[in-house]
Amino acid sequence: MKASDIVTSRINKLPTGYVFTYTDISGDIERKEAVIKALNRMAQSGKITKLAKGKYYKPERTLFGNLVPDEAQVVKDLLEDNGKITGYPTGASIYNRLGLSTQVSNTIEIGKNEVRPAFRRERYTISFVRQKNTITKENIPFLQILDAVKNIKKIPDATLESSLRRLLAILRDLSETDHIKMIRLAAKYPPATRALLGALLEDLGKEGVTTPLRKTLNPITSYTFTGIGSVVSSAKNWNIK
């Protein structure tokens, strides 16, 4: 069987919207050039779509045009490197998933230890924010929540009060062990984030675990979250006004 026929057969078996590379398709095919030519011909004919250099997908076709892959597929190569997690989704898509916002954005934010300039893939703008903590599969959910706490004033399509109530509900569903993990990770976030997390946990009756968090804060520094007192009664205990 010709290399082009093998490539076509393998791509036909892939689900629509799945992003793949040359190595996903080539397998035991010895002629690299033949595989690359086959992929380029299929992209030119519209059977597959080129997402970025060396990255393709089989588009899902609808009455309204071809659909682009979902966010997870678009950025999956930016989240892992040889099986090691190096980044995680954050920003608007996570605010939406956490129930903090109903807005859907064309910008995909990724938290990484080493950031790079923003760039475009299809209709998405990919941007990066620096994460000072080690990124692991286990701590990503906590980092995403901490990012929401850090950026609570910037969450689109939401008021501070509604975001605070939602964060209280999210934190309430976590275990004390989870709270302790989050406090440890919060040490590398700005002071205002640490103070707000402390106030939220104290409001949930978890002041017993917040001592390490309080020790990281300057007792004479105050933080402004206008209107927080109507939702978080412990705010004043953390110099938040």
Please give the pLDDT value at position 173.
97
Please give the pLDDT value at position 207.
92
Query: Residues 56, 25: contact at Cβ < 8 Å?
Result: no
Please give the pLDDT value at position 133.
98
Mapping DSSP to helix (H, G, I), strand (E, B) and coil, where does residue 71 land?
Answer: helix
CA distance 136 to 185: 12
* CB-count exposure of residue 24 (10 Å: 0-12, 13-18, 19+): middle
CA distance 217 to 213: 7
Place of tokens 């104290």: 202
Crossing angle (nearest 10°) for helices 160-172 and 140-150: 150
Sequence length of the chain is: 241
| Parts of the chain with a pLDDT under 50 | none
Please give the pLDDT value at position 28.
67
Please give the pLDDT value at position 68.
83
Of 14, 5, 126, 16, whose CA–CA distance to 69 is shortest?
16
0.85 exceeded by pTM? yes
Question: Helices (DSSP H) in the chain: which residue ranges?
Answer: 3-12, 22-26, 32-45, 71-79, 92-97, 140-150, 160-172, 176-186, 191-203, 211-215
CA distance 36 to 136: 34
Please give the pLDDT value at position 116.
93
Q: How far is CA 70 from CA 73, 143, 144, 154, in A?
A: 6, 22, 19, 24
